[in-house]
Amino acid sequence: MLQKELERRKVPKIAFPADESGRRERREEIKTVLCRELYGFAPDFPLTDESVILRKEENAFGGKAVACEIDVRVRSPFNYASFRAQLVVPKGIKKVPMFLCYTFTPAIADGCGEELIDNGYAIASLYYEGVAPDKPDDHLLGAGRFCRRNPYDSWGKIAIWAWAGSRLLDYILARNQTEAVIDEQRIAVVGHSRLGKTALFAGAMDERYSMVISNDSGAGGIALYRGKRGERLTNLAGKGSRLWFCGNMLNWVDREEELPYDANYLAALIAPRHLYVASATEDDWADPQSEFLSCVAASEAWESYGLTGLVSPDRYPEPNEAFHDGCIGYHLRKGTHYMGRDDWHRFMEYRARHNV
């Protein structure tokens, strides 16, 4: 039934060849299409990392964790930018798995920090507007200033925020070489809504993330464009979100059926690592069915590696159902557009089960 629906929507195949060099080539093609037509290219130049720890709290969360405030400082031959992030590591655990979490507020994991610490996870918390403001400033502010904007394919805000996550990771991993606190094989990037789109793009471009979590990311994230209900490209092209993408995105408004990609392409770049997608029953704007179907369509990528993508019955999920068997995890939470404790617990359940 689900395959029929993909055929009806004419979702393009990912078509990864079975051999690794062929797959690498196809992955590069897909990256180029996605950057050129939707997210924009990040600038490519040598960078110097001059990040520093501004403040260290030895007894965060009642003594359960050590928290550092990091000022991520990046210099290129042409420019300089800095933004704040927080790294919180639970005490008494060797090689801690980590969440790199994009947040809407400066609060650690948008207020869910203690829950994650108590479950044995470190958190790198990155407040997105501290990186580049979410307003039409022509990408001159914050990290946006690294690249002159063109009307076609220069990076949009999602690519800027994603890039910043990778710079934070550079610093954490460099420091980890001496301190070895974080388990480098278990780093998940996570975000909700526009930050779910960001987490997906970040994870697609940066293979150091072992798992990528999209919560209610909808259009411009995990939801298929073809046949999608709720938000469509024409809405994303509106004032509030147009600058999340590159200029070429506008060429495809109301032409979703002709897109040279679909959201399953973005998901495919995460293979053979783990992808987790969360939807909510009342999130019609994001369209849970199109988010779920995208996982079905992306599974082909994992299969080319001899792995399983989404493992689920041949039907749409029931409210509160979760599918955790495959390399793509999924749950449909009952309720509205939101990322809360129920979602976090599912993510952690999946991580523990797959040791990822």
Residues that bind ligand GCU (CB under 6 A): 193-194, 218-220, 231, 235, 241, 285
- Of 287 and 300, nearer to ligand GCU (C-beta) is 287
- Of 308 and 336, nearer to ligand GCU (C-beta) is 336
Residue 153 phi/psi, 5-degree rounding, is -130, 15
- For residue 198, the minimal CB distance to ligand GCU (Å) is 9
Residue 190 phi/psi, 5-degree rounding, is -140, 145
- Tell me the two tokens of residue 161: 């925020």
Angle at 308 between CA 307 and CA 312, to 5 degrees: 175
- For residue 160, the minimal CB distance to ligand GCU (Å) is 15
- Of 239 and 315, nearer to ligand GCU (C-beta) is 239
- For residue 230, the minimal CB distance to ligand GCU (Å) is 9
- Tell me the two tokens of residue 306: 């001899």
- For residue 221, the minimal CB distance to ligand GCU (Å) is 7
Question: Which of 64, 30, 33, 68 is closest to 153 using CA atoms?
Answer: 33
- Of 16 and 252, nearer to ligand GCU (C-beta) is 252
For the chain, the straight-line distance linking the first and the last C-alpha, in angstroms and rounded, comes to: 31
- Of 37 and 231, nearer to ligand GCU (C-beta) is 231
Residues 6 or more apart whose CB falls under 8 angstroms from that of 306 comprise none
Angle at 162 between CA 161 and CA 168, to 5 degrees: 90
- For residue 285, the minimal CB distance to ligand GCU (Å) is 6
- Tell me the two tokens of residue 257: 């059926």
Question: What are the percentages of helix, strand and coil residues in the chain, rounded to 5?
Answer: 40, 25, 40
- For residue 100, the minimal CB distance to ligand GCU (Å) is 18
- Of 48 and 336, nearer to ligand GCU (C-beta) is 336
What whole-number distance in Å separates Cα of residue 137 and Cα of residue 115? 36
